[in-house]
Amino acid sequence: MTQEELDAMMNGEIDDIEGLGDEVSSEETAKEESTENSDDDGIPAGYGENTSHHWPLPATDENKMVHQLDDVTKESEEKASEIFDIIEGISNDLMDKEENANKVIEILTSNIELFKTLSEKFPDVEAFKTQLEKNEEALVNSNEGLETLQNSGDAIMSVMDIMQYQDIHRQKIERVINVMRALSTYMNTLFEGKIDDEKRVSSAKHIVGDENNDVASTDDIEALLAQFGQ
């Protein structure tokens, strides 16, 4: 119970003492949970799992911005290279299949010419007509398959063109990294001092005017002035 709550109770402003006790108990429980979070999960006191996004994350490798951006550009470039290798392999396979399909079409065309001639000279031989029809049907299917292979090859080329944007995105990220590093260097230079931090006078814990009542004592002030005089 705080001093304000105690004064309010003495003045009769608080009637529900039991409810106040429950409230105090709830506050103590919340503080205990916050302390546990600080010990177990690294969450500062006063923060919970739902409010942890309000405080700055620790400067670890997982949270350093430039470090993460460097990882993104590196991994993106590696994965893009792997994708290009796969696409190139598919494109080469399609070209080989197109070449085979063209050879098949040439053979079928030659067969059709042959069976046409045989059918004309021997109209009574049904086998020549049957083979002619089968070869004509196979030629149609082969042309359709060749067209599909060609369309697939064009699609692969379009994918490779689109993947070129990945390199542009990488360059944009690298430009952001360079700007961030330049700003970091500038800020470090801006706040640079002539005195090493180890040689600086330690800051007073409490100064007159602070909300905390435990202000610096006269001895503390005299000790502080003595440090300045050294």
Number of domains in the chain: 2
Q: Domain range for residue 28?
A: 1-55
State whether residue 40 is helix, strand or coil: helix
| 5 C-beta neighbours (distance < 10 Å), count | 14
Does the global pTM surpass 0.85?
no
Domain-located, residue 224: no
pLDDT in tens, 42-82: 555 555 666 555 566 666 776 778 888 888 888 988 988 89
Highest mean pLDDT among 115-119, 211-215, 216-220: 115-119
Does position 1 have pLDDT exceeding 70, yes or no?
A: no
Model confidence at 38, pLDDT cuts 50, 70, 90, reads very low
What distances in angstroms separate CA 9 from CA 76, 112, 218, one per listed residue?
65, 109, 36
Query: Using CA atoms, how far apart are residues 92 and 156, in angstroms rounded to an integer?
Result: 10
Give 138's pLDDT tier (boundaries 50, 70, 90): very high
227 in any annotated domain: no
Domain assignment of residue 209, yes or no: no
Residue 168 shares a structural domain with residue 73: yes
Q: d(Cα 86, Cα 94) in Å, to the nearest integer?
A: 12
**40 and 78 in a common domain:** no
Residues 111 and 127: their CA atoms lie apart, in Å, by: 13
Quote the CA–CA distance of 55 and 31 in Å, as a whole number: 17
Residue 95 lies in a domain: yes
Residues 7 and 35 in one domain: yes
pLDDT, tens only, 176-208: 999 989 998 999 888 888 887 777 766 656 666
